[in-house]
Structure 1
Amino acid sequence: MEFDNILYAVEDRIATITLNRPEKRNALSPALRNDVVAALKHAEADDEVTVVLIQGAGEAFCAGYDMNSYAGGQADPERPAGWNHSPLFESWTGQFPRSCLRDWLTIWDLLKPVVAKVHGYCLAGGSELMSMCDIVFAAEDAVIGYPPTRAQATPDIEYFPWKMSMAQAKYLQLTGNSITGARAEQIGWIAKSFPAAELDEQVMRELRPMSRIHPAMLAANKATLNQSYEAMGFRAALQGSVPWYVLSRSFRPGGGEFQRMAAAEGLKTALKWRDGAFKAEGFPL
């Protein structure tokens, strides 16, 4: 298959999906998301593929959603697949977080394991993509977090309570602080971290023997793990976070201030307003 926003390759039973918008730090435009979903389904249908690897080109894994694609003021803005444009629904049903959840549940439901290899920045929507993967390996110096919870909205995908302890989930979501890949491993958010210079080599060391496991065995193991989390309410909890996104972004007191400031005074001013107090204390992003 040919794609406009990703690179896709298969070697030694490993399908590699490379987010390929390095000039935008691989920000997730609707077109990029559509390509990722299509590539995942293509890899699932290919009997020569056992494991799927997602990585990013350039200096970052993924800096988040490309909000210019969704709120850039175009008369006919680009939208993800399945977006409901009806005036009966668009303004209040959370079409954006619904679309994010629909896309990344593709990873959850895929019969084959999906592995993320994270380097550089992995923020907001990038951390959602990462956290929905079955296994995550990261560079020790990667920067992972969700700073939009400081001012914009609750997460599109409420993965925090499922990926770490309550103490860490509350700390990271309430502050919007970011942590390193090494720290993410310590708190159980990801599987392993490696020195940045060794990341590629170490990830392949992990994947080569894994790719030799029979695909049906991997599918059965993934299914039984997922079934346990489904029984604990995983999918329902993620779906239940959509209304909170809508309320926190658009209807709470102070909701929409970041968006208004960005539109009137520029994104840099809005980011300084959002992150200034944290940077002043030495916290990244």
Structure 2
Amino acid sequence: MTVVPADQDRRAGAPLPEYQDIRIEHRGPITWIVLNRPDKANALSNAMLDEFSDALARLAHTGGPVIGIRGAGRGFSAGYDIDQVGRPVAAPDPVADRDRLARNVDRWLAIWDHPKPVIAAVHGYCIAGATQMCVFADLTFVAEDARIGEPALPLGGGYIAPLWAPLVGPKRAKELAFVPAGAIDGATAVRWGWANHSVPEAELVDRVEELAARIARIPSDVLRIKKLSVNRAMDAMGVRTAAAGVPEMDALLHLSPSVAEIRSWIGDVGLKAAIADFRRPPEPRPDREEGDTP
């Protein structure tokens, strides 16, 4: 299918602007928002987040009847850009930290509240804050061998896993949160209820576009109310209330002495070495002495 450049879309008003860190592709009934920092593992920088929010808002009134989100390059996204959102500050401000975290949650709630169906297509890796984007998408397709999970370093808490809980249940959400660099593959994501379908990576985009073409046969106003009705049921179960609480939990832990100690250690050993250390399996236990209780 031919990709129509964003500046040629005249279906409903002014064309979309040229973005730097995302790319817009109109492909028949679906308009793709493509995370486009492949040299940075599509890490969610402040500029990319602002562009994403701007495009999402504009696509409420232009583009195809279905919106897709995918990543350019080797993976969907490695999560929030640690160079911008992970560095400690000289004088921590918990209120400002909470407000910053809440703004990001509001970005993902805008997917939840968007008038159009939104489908996420995940390949390669989808880590930490990038999983929040998929949690609030209406449908999620994943490559079978995709790696989906928590941040590699425990620098926060209560920000990722609680948003998974309505999809996968509390016990699985806790397992993900408690294990260093906890992650699941695409097939497990479907089995847990985090995603709808797991497919070979080579088929991922085609399968999403095939489904988008079927969805687009339903009138847009009908789709909007169908989406709203399901979301109302989930809101009644507390999804939005839970989402509103995660910034406070994360901001609280950012001031913890334990997190400050980990940050200091990262500064000493370097980011790559720190990540490798947390991903390393624990040392094997020594053999038990005869008579020890198993």
Percent identity between matched residues is 32
User: Aligned to 1:156, which of 154, 159, 170?
Assistant: 159
Shift of 1:156: 2.6
Residues 179/86 of structure 1: CA separation in 2 closer, same or farther (3 Å cut): closer
Provide the C-alpha distance between the structure 2 equivalents of 1:280 and 1:99, rounded to a whole number of angstroms.
43
User: Does the 8 Å contact 1:258/1:274 carry over to 2?
Assistant: no
Provide the C-alpha distance between the structure 2 equivalents of 1:60 and 1:97, rounded to a whole number of angstroms.
24
Provide the C-alpha distance between the structure 2 equivalents of 1:146 and 1:279, rounded to a whole number of angstroms.
22
Residue matched to 2:262: 258
1:122-271 alignment, distance < 5 Å: 122-148=126-152, 151-157=154-160, 158-175=162-179, 176-251=181-256, 253-271=257-275
Residue matched to 1:116: 120
Provide the C-alpha distance between the structure 2 equivalents of 1:218 and 1:280, rounded to a whole number of angstroms.
54
Q: TM-score, normalised by structure 2?
A: 0.83
Shift of 1:89: 3.1
User: Aligned to 2:95, which of 85, 89, 103?
Assistant: 89
Provide the C-alpha distance between the structure 1 equivalents of 2:192 and 2:70, rounded to a whole number of angstroms.
22
Secondary structure of 1:94's partner? helix
Q: Is 1:69–2:84 an aligned residue pair?
A: yes
Residues 88/121 of structure 1: CA separation in 2 closer, same or farther (3 Å cut): closer
Provide the C-alpha distance between the structure 2 equivalents of 1:110 and 1:89, rounded to a whole number of angstroms.
28
Q: Deviations over 1:172-194 (max 9, x none)?
A: 12214111111101111100010
User: Does the 8 Å contact 1:108/1:133 carry over to 2?
Assistant: yes
Residues 146/88 of structure 1: CA separation in 2 closer, same or farther (3 Å cut): closer
Secondary structure of 1:38's partner? helix
Shift of 1:165: 2.4
Secondary structure of 1:26's partner? coil
Q: Is 1:6–2:51 an aligned residue pair?
A: no
Secondary structure of 1:256's partner? helix
User: Which runs of 5 or more structure 1 residues have no equivalent in the other structure?
Assistant: 76-84
Residues 139/217 of structure 1: CA separation in 2 closer, same or farther (3 Å cut): same
Provide the C-alpha distance between the structure 2 equivalents of 1:17 and 1:273, rounded to a whole number of angstroms.
34
Q: TM-score, normalised by structure 1?
A: 0.86
Provide the C-alpha distance between the structure 2 equivalents of 1:52 and 1:262, rounded to a whole number of angstroms.
39
Q: Is 1:18–2:21 an aligned residue pair?
A: no
Residues 159/72 of structure 1: CA separation in 2 closer, same or farther (3 Å cut): closer
Residues 136/240 of structure 1: CA separation in 2 closer, same or farther (3 Å cut): same
Residue matched to 2:60: 44
Q: Which moved further from structure 2: 56-65 or 254-263?
A: 254-263
Secondary structure of 2:148's partner? strand
Residue matched to 2:279: 275
User: Does the 8 Å contact 2:94/2:251 carry over to 1?
Assistant: no
Aligned residue type for 1:58? G
Provide the C-alpha distance between the structure 1 equivalents of 2:94 and 2:242, rounded to a whole number of angstroms.
25
Residue matched to 2:5: none
User: Does the 8 Å contact 2:119/2:208 carry over to 1?
Assistant: no
Provide the C-alpha distance between the structure 2 equivalents of 1:65 and 1:88, rounded to a whole number of angstroms.
19
User: Which runs of 5 or more structure 2 residues have no equivalent in the other structure?
Assistant: 1-15, 286-294
Provide the C-alpha distance between the structure 1 equivalents of 2:284 and 2:81, rounded to a whole number of angstroms.
26
Instruction: Please give the root-mean-square deviation of Cα atoms over the aligned residues, in Å.
Output: 2.5
Residues 233/124 of structure 1: CA separation in 2 closer, same or farther (3 Å cut): same
User: Does the 8 Å contact 2:144/2:200 carry over to 1?
Assistant: yes
Provide the C-alpha distance between the structure 2 equivalents of 1:88 and 1:21, rounded to a whole number of angstroms.
30
Provide the C-alpha distance between the structure 1 equivalents of 2:227 and 2:283, rounded to a whole number of angstroms.
40
User: Does the 8 Å contact 2:117/2:227 carry over to 1?
Assistant: yes
Residues 278/178 of structure 1: CA separation in 2 closer, same or farther (3 Å cut): farther
Secondary structure of 2:213's partner? helix
Residues 237/179 of structure 1: CA separation in 2 closer, same or farther (3 Å cut): same
Secondary structure of 1:159's partner? helix
Aligned residue type for 1:4? Q
Provide the C-alpha distance between the structure 2 equivalents of 1:279 and 1:226, rounded to a whole number of angstroms.
45
User: Does the 8 Å contact 2:44/2:81 carry over to 1?
Assistant: yes
